[in-house]
Amino acid sequence: MPEHLLPEILFRDQLETPIGTMLLITDKRARLRALDWCEYEDRMLRLLRLYGKKEKRKYELQSGTLPAAIHEALEAYFAGDFALINTIPVYTAGTVFQQSVWQALRHIPVGTTLSYGALAKKLGRPKAVRAVGTANGANPVGIVIPCHRVIGMDGAMTGYGGGLERKRWLLAHENACIES
């Protein structure tokens, strides 16, 4: 059978963090494909299936060990060393617009926040605030693609797939100035 018709093997592991058990999906090229919290596993698997349909490819999940470089970068992040998080290779299968939003998210510096409107302007699409919010919410690799750094226009805390308490913790951990 041709390789492109075979299911892609992905590896599932988990990591204990100060804010809960993180589930991580990687591929054979040691790229992070999905990251979510244990209680949101169903959502993470739905996203993987959705992205698989877009790529016309099925995935097969197997237990695996998180690649050392990803493990070390995440451990460093939770220990307060934020530099390595930017070295984690990711592969996401969203639309062109989603990819542009996710790429822009990776450029929001640690310790800072940006509103959905400001992010839309940075993308040259100032009227696409809702679309930016939707793409932000479909981010399959939170923390590494730091969707938690996006807040409301008035500086208020807004939704986060892992829950607002985790978002608050992540922003406080990064020393971001936020409204409570």
Q: Containing H/E element for 26?
A: strand 20-27
Range 83-87 average pLDDT: 93
- Is pLDDT of 179 > 80? no
Q: What is the separation, in whole angstroms, between the first and last Cα of the chain?
A: 55
Does 147 participate in catalysis according to the annotation?
A: yes
C-alpha atoms less than 13 angstroms from C-alpha of 136 in its C-beta half-sphere: 28
Among 103, 96, 102, 130, CA closest to 116:
130
Q: Read off the pLDDT of residues 118-165 as tens digits, 9 standing for 90 and up.
A: 999 999 999 999 999 999 988 999 999 999 999 988 877 888 888 899
CA angle 121, 124, 128 (to 5 degrees): 65
Looking at this protein, which amino acid is placed at residue 12?
R
Full-model pTM: 0.89
Range 24-53 average pLDDT: 88
Cα-based distances in Å from 96 to 35, 93, 145, 147: 20, 9, 16, 17
Query: CA 60 to CA 33: how far, in whole Å?
Result: 13
Q: Kindly state the DSSP code that residue 9 receives in the 8-state scheme.
A: E
Among 163, 135, 136, 167, CA closest to 40:
163
Q: Which position has the token pair 């959502």? A: 43
Domain segments of the chain as ranges = 3-87, 96-173
**Which of these is catalytic: 147, 151, 170, 171?**
147
Class of 96-173 in CATH: mainly alpha
Looking at this protein, which amino acid is placed at residue 21?
T
Q: Read off the pLDDT of residues 158-170 as tens digits, 9 standing for 90 and up.
A: 888 888 999 999 9
Name the CATH topology of 3-87: Double Stranded RNA Binding Domain (3.30.160)
